[in-house]
Structures are given as structure tokens and as C-alpha cells.
Amino acid sequence: METDMEKQLLCARTQLKVQTRSISVKTNSRAAVRMGCAISGSDLTAASGPHERRDADEHHQTPAQLTQHQIHIIKESWKVIQEDIAKVGIIMFVRLFETHPECKDVFFLFRDVEDLERLRTSRELRAHGLRVMSFIEKSVARLDQSDRLQTLALELGRSHYRYNAPPKYYGYVGTEFICAVQPILKEKWTPELEQAWKTLFQYVTHIMKNGYLEEEKNKRNHTVTSTKEGPDKRQTAI
């Protein structure tokens, strides 16, 4: 039979557990808010996933197409965004390295940088941010020309294989771009516009992944062919 002291101790332990859970939930919520904007970034990165093999399974899946209305509102918003194109590029990558530090491994120049505030004045980061923003600008300009947009994204995916930048990172950039442009667009930013930009990035990253996988396959086939032909070439030379 429990004594009064044992009952009090049991009650105290129970209250402590409840308080601990409550503190944990509040801490996680505050951390999520500190991460930045309120969009669900998982919408853009879910297709990437933690496993490389899933990219191959999605190779043949077709993402949603943009509607004419979505194309129109993206183009209208871009007119405002392009006025701060360098600023958006820097913010986008600083946020990327904050939220996904592992992405720095892809960038030789930034791999060992611990003080992310220093990157805000980095000429190298500014230059890379402008290159990515230039790609987005070209994508926006080709929204009415799907063949040209597909060619652009496919080639970028191939080049990312050569840079050793795997597909799992592609969706992160779209998420951070959306977070970076919200303050610039202010009241012009709407859930409808957010969905339009998400759809564009999902479409582009899907094609980029296809380009990456095609280049990977070509490289693998070339390596196998070179290995098979190697002995024959040496014999011919002799």
C-alpha cells in the first residue's frame, strides 16, 4: 500500500514529465519560427528525399504544369524581384547554408566558412547568387516556350553532375528563394503566387534531376565502354 510520501513523489514526477514535454514543444516551435518564412519547404524538397535511389524512381514522373494565370503572376512578380536580384541571391544562399549546412560541401569556396555573416559581403557568393538568379530569370523568360525551358533545365542538371552537386539539394534552393522574395514583394505576395513559384521550381528541379541522371548514366556507360575497349586499343597499338 502506497504511503502519502510515495503518492506525492509519483505526482511530482508526472507533473515534471508534462512540463518537460511542454517546454520541448515550445522550443521546437520557436526554432521553426527563427528559421524564417512560414512556407512549408517540404513541398519543394519532398521529391528529393534523403535517399538518392528515389530520384531514379521519380525519373519518369511528370510534375504539375503551370497554368497561364500562374505564368502571368510569376512574370509580374519578377518585375519587382529583378530590381533586387543581387540581394535576393545572397540572402538565398546564406539562408541555404543556415538551414542546410551540409550544402556547403558542394561549394569548395564556402566549405570551411563558419561565420555565415561574412558570406553576406563575399564577392564569390554574390557572383554565384547572380548566376543562379540569372538561371531563374531565363526560366521566367521561357515560361511560354516549354521546349526551351526544358532544354535549359536539362543542361543545368547535366552540368550539376559534373560539379558533383546531387539532386537532393535542388529543392532547397527553391524554398530559400521563396523565403527571400517574400519581404521584397510585401503585400503583393499571396498564397496563390507562392503556389505558382513552388510549381515552377518543382517542374524545373524535376527536369534538372532528369538531366543529372542522364549524365550519370552516360558517364557510367562511357566508363564501361572504355574499360572493354581498352585492351583492344593497346593490342592495336602494339
pLDDT tens digits for 91-144? Answer: 999 999 999 998 888 887 888 888 888 888 889 999 999 999 999 999 999 999
Q: Measuring CA to CA, which residue among 212, 49, 215, 206 is closest to residue 139?
A: 206
What's the count of helices (H) and strands (E) in the chain, helices before strands? 10, 0
Q: Measuring CA to CA, which residue among 101, 99, 94, 96 is closest to residue 118?
A: 94
- Per the structure block, which three cell numbers stand in for 153? 533545365
Angle at 46 between CA 60 and CA 59, to 5 degrees: 15
Higher pLDDT residue, 70 or 219?
70
Q: How far apart are CA 11 and CA 211, in angstroms?
A: 61
Q: How far apart are CA 148 and CA 103, in angstroms?
A: 29
Contacts of 213 (CB under 8 A, 6+ apart): 55, 56, 59, 157, 167
pLDDT tens digits for 94-107? Answer: 999 999 998 888 88
- Per the structure block, which three cell numbers stand in for 99? 538551414
DSSP state of 189: -
pLDDT tens digits for 155-193? Answer: 999 999 988 888 888 999 999 999 999 999 999 999 999
Q: How far apart are CA 232 and CA 236, in angstroms?
A: 6
DSSP state of 215: H
pTM beyond 0.75: the answer is: no
Q: How far apart are CA 154 and CA 59, in angstroms?
A: 12
pLDDT tens digits for 44-81? Answer: 644 444 444 444 444 456 778 899 999 999 999 999 99
Q: Give burial (CB, 10 Å; 0-12/13-18/19+) of 150.
A: middle
